C-alpha cells in the first residue's frame, strides 16, 4: 500500500538577512494570546533567552520594536505587540495563507491520485529500454 504523499512549506522573508519566518510568527502570535513573553515561551517549550534573542534580531533587521514590554512588579509584567509588530505578523500570516492555498492547488494538480499510476507507467517504460 502506498503512503500518502504530502508536502511542507515554510515561508521566510529576507532583507540582507532573515527578516521574518514561521518561528518568530508563532512566537509573536503566542505573546499576543498569552500577554507575556514568559508565558509564550513556556507554552512553546522554548527558552526565554532564545525568544528574547529572536525578537531582538528581527527588531534589528526592521529597525523598530515588535513588542511592548512591561517590567514585572506588583501586578506582574507582560508583553504585547506594537502596531508595527502586529502589522508585520498579520501581513505575514495573510501572505503565507495565500501561498499555502496556491501550493495546495499546485500539489493537487501535479501529485493527484493518478500520480502513482503514471509513475508506474514511466517506471515500466524505463525497464523496457534497459
Q: What is the pLDDT of residues 43-89, one digit of tens each?
A: 999 999 999 999 999 999 999 999 998 876 666 678 999 999 999 99
| Count of residues in the chain | 130
If one counts every other C-beta atom within 10 angstroms of the C-beta of residue 57, the result is 13
**In a domain? residue 93:** yes
Burial class of residue 122 (count of CB atoms within 10 Å of its CB; 0-12, 13-18, 19+):
exposed
pLDDT at position 128 = 55
CATH (domain of 100): 1.10.10.10
94 assigned to some structural domain = yes
In a domain, 67, yes or no: yes
The per-residue pLDDT for 49 is 96
Give the count of domains, the chain.
1
Q: Report if residue 50 sits inside a domain.
A: yes
Decide: 22 and 61 in contact? Cβ < 8 Å. Answer: no
Overall pTM > 0.95: no
- Residue 5 within any structural domain of the chain: no
Report the distance separating Cα 109 and Cα 118, nearest Å: 13
Is 82 contained in some domain? yes
For residue 40, the cross-strand partners are none
In a domain, 1, yes or no: no
pLDDT value, residue 121:
84
Nearest-10 crossing angle of helices 22-34, 37-44: 120
Contact 27, 55 (CB under 8 A): yes
2-30: per-residue pLDDT in tens? 578 888 999 999 999 999 999 999 999 99
Task: Please give the angle made by the CA atoms of 7, 9 and 11, to the nearest 5 degrees.
Answer: 175
Residue 4 lies in a domain: no
The torsion region of residue 43 among left (phi > 0), alpha (psi -120 to 50) and beta comes to alpha
Which range marks the domain in which residue 39 is found? 14-129
Question: What does the alpha-carbon distance between residue 56 and residue 63 come to, in Å, rounded to a whole number?
Answer: 10
Give me Rg for the CA atoms of the chain. 22
Amino acid at each position: 500500500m502506498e503512503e500518502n504523499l504530502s508536502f511542507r512549506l515554510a515561508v521566510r522573508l529576507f532583507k540582507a538577512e532573515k527578516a521574518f519566518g514561521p518561528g518568530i510568527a508563532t512566537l509573536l502570535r503566542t505573546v499576543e494570546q498569552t500577554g507575556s513573553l514568559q508565558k509564550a515561551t513556556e507554552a512553546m517549550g522554548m527558552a526565554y533567552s532564545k525568544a528574547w534573542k529572536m525578537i531582538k534580531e528581527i527588531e534589528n533587521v526592521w529597525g523598530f520594536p515588535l513588542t511592548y514590554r512591561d517590567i514585572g512588579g506588583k501586578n506582574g509584567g507582560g508583553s504585547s505587540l506594537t502596531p508595527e509588530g502586529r502589522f508585520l505578523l498579520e501581513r505575514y500570516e495573510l501572505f503565507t495563507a495565500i501561498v499555502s492555498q496556491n501550493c495546495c492547488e499546485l500539489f493537487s494538480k501535479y501529485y493527484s491520485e493518478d500520480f502513482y499510476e503514471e509513475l508506474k507507467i514511466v517506471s515500466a517504460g524505463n525497464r523496457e529500454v534497459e
